Amino acid sequence: MDLDTLSARLSTLEQAGLDAIRAASSPEALEAVQVAYLGRRGELKTVLGGIGALPAPDRPQVGAIGNAVREALEAALEIRRRELQTAALDARLARETVDVTLPGRPFRSGSLHPLIETNREIARIFGQFGFVVYEGPEVESDARNFQALNIPPDHPARDLWDTLYVDVPGYLLRTHTSPGQIHVMQQTAPPIRALLPGRCFRYEAVDASHGFEFFQVEGLMVDEGTTMADLRGLLDAFAQAMFGRGRPTRFRPGYYPFTEPSVAFDVQCVVCNGVGCPSCKRTGWMTILGAGMVHPVVLRNGGLDPERYQGFAFGLGTDRIAILRYGIDDIRMFLENDLRFLEQFS
């Protein structure tokens, strides 16, 4: 192979490379052209491999031509690369152009869950009477959940709570928010006005009015000279604030091991206004909470002297209050996360 033949091949290669570069329509195609012509096994490397067959005086001249071809192809590659980048950017800007004269898209705002809304309303009402919100643990000891509340291991009242125990001996998922009374009395000196909202757990069959997971709010007031009349006045005020001014209420005898005397607190049915309907089982009344004067044993277990202090406690179901407040007939809807249901409270 002589000098003229190699020079002609290099000239042809340069023109073919420039044509291929101009024809590349994407960064990937341009990369393929670069590899084909300037790669380690590319066309230019192959042609320059014939330099060794030339006479020694001709080799520098062919090498200079080869370097010029490489520089021309590299320059063309860089120019084409910038052109492709500019074209890609222009296409992206055209796709993403925003017409600022168009009206804005409506912003969909969320809302609080109805149980959270109900808890906040309960806390707001009792907060007007000086009650402060506390939080207790969901995993509780048997000692606080039962024994400190006057429910020893062999007490028949334990049958009232279908308890879920955990793997740690002596601990369980709290069956009610009442053990919060012990926490507050052991940590706070009277006068005490505490409100303890929280989630509770019981092993129960799930239906329209029962769930194994539900929410309660425990109230506790301890002071010198606290009476049942104070409890009645407080609950009357709460019922009227929650369900409307003038709503009739009543006390009925009840039983709880941690209060004595114990009562059930009823309000006139908010569905039928006392006439009688399926919601109130034709009685005209709905029970919204249980309450009573704190048992002396519970006061003593909380570190307080029952000869000096008296108190009352009440426990209401957030789910029950929300059902009455919003007219819902199935408690399971609160925890199903159905947006069609939840969006009605936005």
Name the packing angle between helices 59-95 and 27-38 (round to 10°). Answer: 170
pLDDT of residue 130: 94
pLDDT at 52: 66
Are 222 and 190 a contacting pair, CB within 8 Å? yes
What is the C-alpha to C-alpha distance for residues 261 and 226, in angstroms, rounded to an integer? 13
Structure tokens at 330: 């199935």
Q: What is the pLDDT of residue 3?
A: 67
Encode the chain (346 residues) as per-residue pLDDT tens digits. Answer: 566 777 787 788 888 888 888 888 888 888 898 888 888 887 877 777 777 676 777 677 777 877 888 888 889 889 989 998 999 888 888 888 888 888 888 887 778 888 999 999 999 999 999 999 999 899 999 999 999 999 888 887 777 778 889 999 989 999 999 999 999 999 999 999 999 999 999 888 777 777 788 899 999 999 998 999 999 999 999 999 998 888 899 999 998 899 999 999 998 887 788 888 776 778 888 888 999 999 999 999 999 999 999 999 999 988 888 888 887 777 888 888 888 888 888 6
CB 105 within 8 A of CB 76: no
230-238 long-range Cβ contacts below 8 angstroms, 24+ apart: 230/312, 231/291, 231/292, 231/293, 231/312, 231/314, 234/129, 235/265, 235/289, 235/291, 235/314, 237/125, 237/129, 238/122, 238/125, 238/126
E strand intervals along 43-189: 132-133, 139-141, 164-165, 171-173
pLDDT at res. 72: 87
User: Tokens at residue 243, please?
Assistant: 């369900």
Strand partners, 286: 267
pTM above 0.95, yes or no: no
- For the chain, give every domain's residue range: 3-95, 114-345
For domain 114-345, which architecture applies?
A: 2-Layer Sandwich (3.30)
CA–CA distance, 322 with 334 (Å, rounded to integer): 9
Q: In 274-298, which positions are buried (b, 16+ CB within 10 angstroms) versus exposed (e)?
A: beeeebbeeebbbbbbbbbbbbbbb
Please tell me the distance from the alpha carbon of residue 69 to that of residue 139, in angstroms, as a whole number: 79
Q: How far is CA 148 from the centre of its chain?
A: 34
CB atoms within 10 A of CB 34: 20
Cα(31)–Cα(34) distance, integer angstroms: 5
Radius of gyration of the chain (CA): 41
